[in-house]
Chains A and B, each alone.
Chain A
């Protein structure tokens, strides 16, 4: 636990009072129908109501900055931005009053978090640029888009999948190469006045998956799970083989027998599935070349960082283990050039041999970086990949430190 906040949020109050997160569950076992054949209330409460309460009220936090932050130094080390205004924080994640830049992982919510941010900033005239970053426990976890400002304000963005244990914290960071002393940009009041100002530095996060890892997942690629997040985070716990995935559910009728196997299939499996949905993250380990203004090119030299369903076996593609809507994000940073150009990241899906590219937010400048985050519909077996596209007029190399790809199952 690295945070200094209380990280004691117990979430929205409900009619139940149980440990809110997966850490409080006895998950992974068959449903405990008692020898007497009775269903005990505490079984239903602990293994049905508590997980459903959590899964229906998953931790979400959105915080922003409404008073411009000045004195941001130049350099390559991100400056954490103070988030002086909570937009949504039912789990009390902004729990360190001494440092409002921190959003702290609540107790019981160890796992993977989808994190996004934007950093409006004003820079002086010239080829100066700014880049957004996500910090994890004070260190750079991911770099986002980089934008040249040239006397105006721009809004670099960033998104990523971040593993966090209770007490860990994330921050929104900004990097720029103008003289020290720059300031964030806070926009005018949205219409009608009286609401928050926009644009504004904003950091958002939501819990997406827990820390149990399925070792069997649809029979597609049974293999050893990848358990090597690049930063210290939650401890992953393999669970017994279980056919995870969405369930059809039973239409119950009065007088119907209640066998343990049915309850396991209808309760335990969906609880385990919804708290361990497929998720992945890969980092680039070595630069690759991207030709100019051609077709979008697949980014390779990727190393698995998170892959709880072991679907990166067909490297460098991620193969969707089950059908559904997936949130996928990626960033591509490009090498420096003598003239400004733009570089973009794309999310690509390949279905039945045909590939479609979803453009993201481009970056522009002498050394641009693009960032893409899109929800895409995948069939089981479809491939998703990270794409690069740039317009410098010459071949450019990627910069591995700012190049990665991630995704998570969202819905059937």
Chain B
């Protein structure tokens, strides 16, 4: 599995071997053009209890170029260290009187932290969608998991589309490695 390139200092009078070019040219640009990317959405309705940070269950993986998704634990595991760009969204069907927010758990060095909240909207006005966009540093093995929260008096269901071709995209998470 390609890793982020480590640039070399080419010494004078050094005659590069094929392996040097494969590592420092072909694999380096291969990684930079195609870094780890993950996208998944939710197509099965999920009940979300009130006033509880709840992981959004992502049942449909659209792409996972570095095999970072842990379906059992419902989280994305970084396969190489770096800054990751995250966008995620959650839709809840109902809860007209509720406030809501999104967030994520981050597990770094074996310690799970959070919720790291993003984008809280107030009660009322029939809210249905919350969304986040952030940058997170992860070492290899660290993981992230998207969350949603609302304070409706009872549980509400997530709102899902009818499939990957639905006109209205379901709750989802997108991740891309962007820098060391």
Contacts and interface: CB of A to CB of B under 8 A. Distances in A.
A373 B26 CA distance: 32
B37 interface: yes
B156 interface: no
Contacts of B101: 155, 199
A344 B128 CA distance: 10
Given A56-B179, A249-B30, A252-B18, A356 B169 contact: yes
Contacts of B32: 52, 55-56, 270, 274
Contact of B167 (A39, A250, A329, A356): A356
Contacts of B127: 342, 362, 364
A42 B17 CA distance: 17
B91 interface: yes
**Which residue, of B13, B18, B112, B176, has the highest number of chain A Cβ atoms within 10 A?**
B18
Contacts of B12: 41
Interface string A2-43: 000000000010111000000000000000000000010110
Interface stretch (A142-150, A228-236, A278-286, A378-386): A142-150
Q: Which of A195, A246, A252 has the most C-beta atoms of chain B within 10 angstroms of its own C-beta? A: A252
Interface residues of A, number: 94
A190 B103 CA distance: 11
Interface in A30-64: 39, 41-42, 44-45, 48-50, 52-53, 55-60, 62
A341 interface: yes
Contact of B133 (A199, A267, A373, A410): A373
A49 B10 contact: yes
Contacts of A267: 25, 29
A52 B4 CA distance: 10
Given A56-B5, A325-B37, A357-B167, A159 B133 contact: yes
Most chain B CB inside 10 Å of its own CB: which residue of A41, A56, A145, A355: A56
Q: How large is the interface on B (under 10, 10 to 19, 20 to 34, 35 or more residues)?
A: 35 or more
Contact of B33 (A53, A247, A295): A247
Contacts, number: 256
A280 B105 CA distance: 32
Given A362-B129, A377-B39, A148 B179 contact: no
Given A60-B179, A364-B124, A270 B131 contact: no
A57 B177 CA distance: 11
Interface of A: 12, 14-16, 39, 41-42, 44-45, 48-50, 52-53, 55-60, 62, 88, 116, 118, 120, 145, 147-150, 152-155, 157, 159, 187, 190-192, 195, 198-199, 202, 204, 206, 246-247, 249-256, 258, 266-267, 270, 273-274, 295-296, 325, 327, 329, 340-342, 344, 354-365, 371-377, 391, 410-412
Interface of B: 4-14, 16-19, 21-22, 24-35, 37, 39, 62-63, 83, 85, 87, 89, 91, 99, 101, 103, 111-135, 137, 165-169, 172, 174, 176, 178-180
Which A-B residue pairs are the 10 nearest by beta carbons? A375-B174, A249-B26, A252-B18, A373-B133, A49-B7, A199-B117, A359-B129, A155-B120, A41-B10, A361-B131
